[in-house]
């Protein structure tokens, strides 16, 4: 009798569970969000704490990984930097060489008609009224006395003596120097001499009485005298000094070459 009653209760409970399941499965879930909220309120703080803890542990791990990576990166960058610095130094050297070669090229192009030999100034006279310097080419390079020396800007002087490897150049501003010159505009002839009256300028005398000299007029070699070829630029007229007798008037010429700064010259070998 007891077994029969227990079987009926079991069947009823199973039917009720089925009915509840069918009922729940057919319900709109949004109506259950308050239950979800309740669960979230209870569970999320714990979950958040656990996530934070986990992230912290994982983060520390990457931190150590980052240090190693950064050190490696730093080392690589240092090497790259050293290499770039080395390249920069090489670039500077090449740049300087390039500038010097350009200067030589400009000089050669400017005076293309002449066969020239480039040279560096290696020594300068210390005397207060002489202006002589030594260049690094000599007999071995085909240099001979009386050859003309020019620079990018104009006439420098001529060779007075040579050794096997060096040559002495007497500049046009030396007091012993005399250059036969001509005015570019009027073609009047002048004689330009070095002077100690004013540093780094030339004194032009023997000016024809009919000649009209204007400040800024260009002066170039006349080709007379046997040393300097014709048409090499000397400089410009700085001022004209008039005297009682017009025959004695003279002009001060500003040479195109700055003799304090010049360090590269060309020797005209032919």
Partner 1 sequence: MKNTLIIIGIILVFLILYFLQINFFNWFTIGGISPNLFVILLLFIGLFAGKRVAIPLGLVLGICLDFFISKKIGISGIMLGTVGALGGFLDKNFSKDSRMTIILMTVAVTFIYELGAYLLNYFIVSTTIEIIPFIKIVLIEILYNVILVIIFYPLLQKAGYYIEEAFREKKILTRYF
Q: Which residues bind partner 1 (CB under 8 A)?
A: 123-130, 132-134, 160, 168, 170, 174-176, 193-197, 199
Closest CB to partner 1 among 124 and 153? 124
d(CA 145, CA 138): 10
Smallest gap from Cβ 223 to partner 1, in A, equals 22
Question: 106: which residues sit within 8 A by CB, 6+ positions away?
Answer: 152
Smallest gap from Cβ 128 to partner 1, in A, equals 5
Smallest gap from Cβ 225 to partner 1, in A, equals 14
Closest CB to partner 1 among 132 and 155? 132
Distance of CA 24 to the CA centre of its chain: 83
Closest CB to partner 1 among 169 and 268? 169
Closest CB to partner 1 among 107 and 119? 119
Closest CB to partner 1 among 154 and 194? 194
Closest CB to partner 1 among 91 and 129? 129
3-state SS track over the chain:
CHHHHHHHHHHHHHHHHHHHHHHHHCCCHHHHHHHHHHHHHHHHHHHHHHHHHHHHHHHHHHHHHHHHHHHHHHHHHHHHHHHHHHHHHHHHHHHHHHHHHHHHHHHHHHCCCCCEEEEEEEEECCCCCCCEEEECCCHHHCCCCCCEEECCCCEEEEEEEECCCCEEEEECCCCCCEEEEEECCCCCEEEEEECCCCCCCEEEECCCCCCCCCCCCEEEECCCCCCCCCCCEEEEEEEEECCCCHHHCEEEEEECCCCCCCCEEEEECC
Closest CB to partner 1 among 111 and 259? 259
Smallest gap from Cβ 157 to partner 1, in A, equals 11
Smallest gap from Cβ 119 to partner 1, in A, equals 16
Smallest gap from Cβ 175 to partner 1, in A, equals 4
Smallest gap from Cβ 201 to partner 1, in A, equals 12
Q: Residue 255: name the closest of 197, 169, 192, 184 by CA.
A: 192
């Amino acid at each position: 009798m007891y077994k029969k009653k227990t079987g009926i209760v079991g069947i009823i409970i199973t039917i009720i569970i089925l009915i509840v399941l069918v009922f729940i499965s057919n319900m709109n879930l949004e109506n259950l969000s308050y239950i979800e909220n309740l669960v979230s309120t209870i569970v999320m703080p714990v979950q958040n704490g656990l996530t934070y803890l986990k992230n912290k542990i994982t983060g520390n791990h990457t931190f150590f990984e980052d240090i190693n990576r950064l050190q490696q990166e730093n080392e690589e960058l240092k090497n790259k930097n050293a290499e770039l610095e080395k390249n920069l130094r090489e670039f500077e050297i090449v740049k300087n060489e390039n500038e010097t070669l350009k200067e030589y090229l400009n000089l050669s192009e400017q005076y293309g008609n002449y066969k020239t030999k480039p040279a560096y100034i290696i020594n300068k006279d210390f005397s207060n009224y002489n202006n002589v310097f030594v260049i690094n080419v000599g007999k071995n390079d085909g240099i001979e006395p009386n050859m003309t020396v020019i620079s990018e800007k104009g006439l420098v002087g001529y060779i007075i003596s040579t050794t096997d490897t060096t040559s002495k150049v007497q500049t046009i501003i030396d007091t012993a120097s005399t250059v036969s010159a001509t005015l570019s505009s009027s073609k009047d002839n002048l004689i330009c001499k070095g002077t100690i009256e004013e540093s780094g300028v030339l004194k032009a005398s023997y000016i024809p009485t009919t000649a009209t000299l204007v400040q800024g007029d260009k002066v170039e070699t006349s080709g007379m005298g046997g040393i300097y070829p014709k048409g090499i630029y000397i400089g410009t007229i700085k001022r004209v000094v008039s005297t009682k007798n017009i025959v004695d008037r003279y002009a001060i010429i500003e040479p195109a070459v700055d003799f304090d700064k010049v360090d590269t010259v060309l020797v005209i070998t032919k």
